Amino acid sequence: MKRREFINWVGLGFLASSLPVALAACSAETTTTASSTSGGATQNWQKVGTVAELDKTGQLLVPDSPVGAVLVVGTSKAAQNLIAVNPTCTHKGCTVEWKTDKNKFVCPCHDAEFALDGKVQKSPAEKPLRTYLTKIESGSIFVTTT
């Protein structure tokens, strides 16, 4: 085997062995803080805040949680009625706001409106907001994708 062929084989072997590392580095990172099983499926719950933070104003905005942006609405006294959505408007990407008096999410940029379940009630948005399941454990608020 000539030296040039040997170097080519070594280089190819190096590239092939680096591929799994490169793929792992490019994959999405998730941090599991709690998990539960429901119907045989495992759910990855992510902590987004505390009950104290939520109860201050009745809403908790977390722009950079492990599952993405999350807006939780409600209080710990009515934990079964907590609502959690991705607050990024599906029209142009503005952050929607919770309007207690209207009982809906409203986009301040173009006045799109969304129901409690994230469905569009008023255009210009056409796609619903992403929603999350919520739970409270040990004074912390957790969400998981639906």
Q: What is the pLDDT of residues 9-25, one digit of tens each?
A: 776 666 667 666 555 55
Using pLDDT thresholds of 50, 70 and 90, give the confidence band for residue 125: very high
Q: What is the pLDDT of residues 74-109, one digit of tens each?
A: 988 877 889 999 999 999 999 999 999 999 999 999
- Output the CA torsion 129→132→138→140 (10° steps): -30
Can you tell me the distance from the alpha carbon of 127 to that of 120, in angstroms, rounded to the nearest whole number? 7
